[in-house]
Amino acid sequence: MRAHIISKLTAALVFVAALALAAPAFGARQTPPSNKAAKPSSPKKVSTKMRSARRRKPRQRAQTAPAPARISEIQSALATQGAYKGQPNGKWDNATVQAMKDFQSAHGLTVSGKLDALTLQKLGLGSEIAGRAAPLSTPQTQGASATTQQQTP
């Protein structure tokens, strides 16, 4: 029994060794013989995930600043509400941040001094559905959905 196992292992090792010796021949390209002298071949470049990942632009994770025209529009809306004093200048400066905080505080919003969907909605500059969940389409939950939307600030 032992001799049988040893002979099978020996046969397997011989087979693996033969494959290792023959592997380069399987991967080599066959080219027709030419009269020119053989040029030294350069190694092929291997495409990897790392290379393609380096080419991609990194995703922008932070909120981008609005354009000066949009900032002026926001400053005008804050001035209309009495929170911003001065002329709209299109710059997100300390006066604008303080006006935004005052407006958010007066309207029961999260006081951050930053733009968000609900603040823009309260200023009249955002979407009507900003910051709210999508309406449910089933008839059973539409009544509950309408009640929830009325309670949400």
Asked if residues 86 and 71 have their Cβ atoms less than 8 Å apart, the reply is: no
Q: Residue 53 has which token pair?
A: 């990942």
DSSP single-letter state for residue 113:
S
Could you report the per-residue pLDDT of 35-52, keeping only the tens digit for each? Answer: 555 555 666 665 555 555
Q: Residue 27 has which token pair?
A: 């991967």
Domain boundaries, the chain: 68-123
* Across 83-91, average pLDDT: 92
Statement: residue 24 has pLDDT above 70: no
* Side chain identity, residue 130: A
Q: Residue 123 has which token pair?
A: 């200023």
Q: Which of 100, 69, 67 is nearest to 85 (CA)?
A: 100
Full 3-state SS string of 28-87: CCCCCCCCCCCCCCCCCCCCCHHHHHHHCCCCCCCCCCCCHHHHHHHHHHHHHCCCCCCC
| Mean per-residue pLDDT of the chain | 74
**What band does 76 get if pLDDT is binned at 50, 70 and 90?**
very high
**What band does 153 get if pLDDT is binned at 50, 70 and 90?**
very low
